[in-house]
Structure 1
């Protein structure tokens, strides 16, 4: 899965094609290698995003296992679904150590999304549910019936999902 900061919106080429990935880097979760890659603006060689916010090297042995979903909050912090460890981690935009999002009972979280108020939504794949983690804390399961292994989420701009 991929994510890009909001600043990635860039005009397309003269012939009407979209840019490769805009004016901001593109982040890609590498499920098998247990890493997150940062592709530089405009292409080029990928660099691995460190969990501690330091130089662009391989993520230190901080325990990422099967990362899937990626999302940026409005402050530019990168959130990663660490599906093999049943958690979501936050990589601070300004550097520093990663932290685990306070969500309990997750079972293979996949997709992530933020609403305009800053609430985090988690597609809890093996629990067949969507979990909302408001900015003020706590969590709740959204009242969605009939889900079977939800993987992706999207919240329209300017809208609160719940």
Structure 2
């Protein structure tokens, strides 16, 4: 039941219930207060799924399905930084650090056909030259890091598996697929959230090699009698767990040196199953993975503030939430329509909104910004680049 945002509009709805409960709060909750969102761009962007604060007052953002990487200046003027020359290619996963802009150019995501799938991680150097660092889809094809992970039902007898409707993958191992969805440049390499491969990989920009850091844990849903009856699942599945694929959508280096990763449940990403998204922290050296917070509504973007608070774009939750430093609970912070990504610079939070167009309506995507209370203006966050 592979699900990436490239195939969002064709989600298979499997109405199971029983999301993992959110972890308890562990720190005294500070309450950052949002300001009023103000526009950074006009409200006409095509699928702005990725945003990054750039040099000075500039803001970088992608129009994924239009194949564009754009930038605004301090006056709000928009210019195109990169335009794909490959028909049908998606441009996304933008990040900025050390004067270098990093992004991904994908083809064939979700097709599970290695012959047409590419995941090129590219960089725009300070002089403007565009270079390709690696193809993470090739790494996926050669290694298939989650190839030994069992998804679907793990403990059903053969007689019960045979009764599961054909449209529901009853039991299978990870397929070869790649969708480079987010990048995070660090001094140790460029970390990539591969939403198709269900993993985090790191690209060495000097040797162009790719290494698997961690495969994210499956999203586990418990089948109830009510859910089985509503979806046509056989009664023999009641009481069993279904292991959905994880779909990592962002990766950010935190104040503690660990990687923080947002994941969608690998089934439908709409609210039909409830809020089942999560944030994990991953040790970049060992790959050890720990749950930070769960119960999130389609988390697709992360950003740390200078003091270590983690802002989360919850796409179908129509909000940005905040996990204060040391906490395991996400609290609503800002109500905005369909936010896909967030980025912080100093005391300013940038958000892409209306990231997915409605049926038969023109694109209305936009980048907005709000002021964060209590942050020091001009401060540099856990892994942000100073001007």
Please state whether the residue corresponding to 2:337 is helix, strand or coil.
coil
Aligned residue pairs, count = 146
Q: Which one of 105, 110, 120 corresponds to residue 295 of structure 2? A: 105
Please state whether the residue corresponding to 2:316 is helix, strand or coil.
helix
Q: Which one of 239, 243, 247 corresponds to residue 66 of structure 1? A: 247
**RMSD over aligned Cα, in angstroms?**
3.0
Q: Which one of 13, 25, 29 corresponds to residue 193 of structure 2? A: 29
Cα separation, 2, equivalents of 1:10 and 1:37: 22
Give the structure with the larger strand fraction: 2
State the Cα deviation string for residues 29-50 of structure 1 (Å, max 9, x = none). 1111212221013251211112
Determine the structure 2 residue equivalent to 1:123.
313
Q: Give the TM-score, by structure 2 length.
A: 0.33
Q: Which one of 329, 337, 343 corresponds to residue 154 of structure 1? A: 343
Specify which structure has the bigger relative contact order, considering alpha-carbon pairs within 8 angstroms and separated by 6 or more residues.
Answer: 2
State the Cα deviation string for residues 108-158 of structure 1 (Å, max 9, x = none). 11100000110111101111111111114243211x34x222111011136
The alpha-carbon deviation at position 92 of structure 1 amounts to 2.4
**Unmatched runs of 5 consecutive residues or more in structure 2:** 1-92, 101-123, 132-184, 219-244, 266-275, 349-370, 374-387
CA spacing shift, 1:35–1:93, aligned 2, 3 Å: closer
Cα separation, 1, equivalents of 2:306 and 2:320: 17
Determine the structure 1 residue equivalent to 2:127.
16
Regions of 4+ moved over 6 Å: 10-13
Determine the structure 2 residue equivalent to 1:55.
none
Cα separation, 2, equivalents of 1:123 and 1:82: 11
**Unmatched runs of 5 consecutive residues or more in structure 1:** 51-58
Please state whether the residue corresponding to 1:116 is helix, strand or coil.
coil
Q: Give the TM-score, by structure 1 length.
A: 0.73
The alpha-carbon deviation at position 93 of structure 1 amounts to 4.2
The alpha-carbon deviation at position 77 of structure 1 amounts to 0.9
Determine the structure 2 residue equivalent to 1:90.
281
Highest CA radius of gyration, 1 or 2? 2
The alpha-carbon deviation at position 10 of structure 1 amounts to 6.5
Cα separation, 2, equivalents of 1:31 and 1:96: 17
Determine the structure 1 residue equivalent to 2:5.
none
